Structure 1
Amino acid sequence: MRRITGAAFLSLDGVMQAPGGPSEDYTGGFDEGGWLFRFGDDGIFETIGSLFAGEYDLLLGRRTYDIFAAYWPYVEGDGAEMGRAFTRAGKHVLTRGDESLEWENSHRLGGIDDVAALKQSDGPDLIIQGSSTIYPGLLAAGLIDRLTLMTFPVTLGRGKRLFGDGTPARILRMVDHKVTPRGTVIATYEPRGAIPTEGSFPEPSISARETERQRKMQGGGW
């Protein structure tokens, strides 16, 4: 069985859009593309190197696939080796569309059930890059084994976020962490299941003011 690891670059306010360059993804008017390289340091690049050091396949959403397919097969210079590695790797694309996947070693996944079947198959472990829209469904289905989140000391204000609409309520356990010289927190988590529905809570207030507050909240006027 394969393991699935999500690895994401995040701002403090949870934005993960276009860390790699100004033209990567400026949809929604996002104008801070390339922010990773303004704050990156050796600690970040060591983590990236370790993540891709062994054999792996990629699990991607369609838009991230399009970004990668238009860049990595053609990159020269320092990025050429990574481009060749990504081309060799299997690229499993979770998409509802029927557009062709022309980059070699690319495979279509029509839904979460297909990801579950892929996870049960033989082959390298899977690494998610980018692909913010696929996280809620994968988390809800219990398909993600690890999350490595690299949180940079910057707020970006707007942009696509890792934990968007549909993210389930879940407990995660931190299994590793470090802080880079420039203050990026690299933390790795493993899902631990649903949040308990029972707990020990303080007794609610029975004051008239609290009763009025509850009335307003229930009526949508608070």
Structure 2
Amino acid sequence: MRTLIVTEFISLDGVIDSPGGGTHPRAGWTFKEVPFVAEAYEIKGTEQLEAGAMLMGRVSYEEFAPVWPSMVEDFAQYNAMPKYVVSTTLTEEPTWNNTSIVRSLDDVADLKQGDGGPIIVHGSATLAQGLAAAGLVDRYHLLVFPVLLGAGKRLFADDAGAQFAKLELVEQAAYENGIIKAVYDVVR
């Protein structure tokens, strides 16, 4: 069985919206608001090397697909590995190399049953919340940024119907720019 890892840049108040660009009023908050410290981002390189597949929602796919394929040095492994877009509305065949559409969380559960390295989930707040509610998330890789954004898409659902999850901290680090790395396993 494959491990499903949700990886996010997240503000201290839980917002994951537009960390590198996008429609949030403070889009790009990861690099505009916090000084760059290379060590804080080492987990991103490790994720790319260890992942066996990438999973994303339609909106993240539409943001990543036009950009990441041209970033050969930064995203070589991601560009080569199998990628899955969870969408009920995407009708055009994906153009990003080695990308397939899956239509439901049941399809994601089937992917987890296969062989291979971890399935990494980038972006996709709605997808991450759905995966968590369905009990499909095994691990969270969070880079917590020392900013409060106040509003925007959040990683964790803000409703009484959200599934409770107990998490175990398995790795942590703090960096001189205030970023905190927190890796949590979901306790089952």
The TM-score, its normalising length taken from structure 2, stands at 0.90
2:131 corresponds to: 138
Gaps of 5+ in 1: 194-222
Residues 137 and 167 of structure 1 are in contact (CA less than 8 Å); yes or no, is this contact kept in structure 2?
no
Cα distance in structure 2, aligned partners of 1:55 and 1:171 = 24
Moved over 4 A (4+): none
The alignment-based identity, stated in percent, is 37
Letter in 2 for 1:133: T
Which residue of 155, 169, 181 corresponds with 1:174? 169
What is the aligned residue count? 183
Deviation, structure 1 residue 53: 2.4
RMSD: 1.6
Please state whether the residue corresponding to 1:157 is helix, strand or coil. Answer: coil
Q: Are residues 1:117 and 2:110 paired?
A: yes
Letter in 2 for 1:151: V
Deviation, structure 1 residue 55: 4.6
Cα distance in structure 2, aligned partners of 1:111 and 1:181 = 41
1:71 corresponds to: 67
Deviation, structure 1 residue 123: 2.6
Q: Deviations over 1:152-175 (max 9, x none)?
A: 111112111111255312211111
Higher radius of gyration, 1 or 2: 1
Cα distance in structure 2, aligned partners of 1:172 and 1:34 = 28
Please state whether the residue corresponding to 1:70 is helix, strand or coil. Answer: coil
Cα distance in structure 2, aligned partners of 1:74 and 1:184 = 28
Higher-RCO chain (CA-CA 8 Å, sequence separation at least 6) = 2
Deviation, structure 1 residue 61: 0.7
Please state whether the residue corresponding to 1:118 is helix, strand or coil. Answer: helix
1:205 corresponds to: none
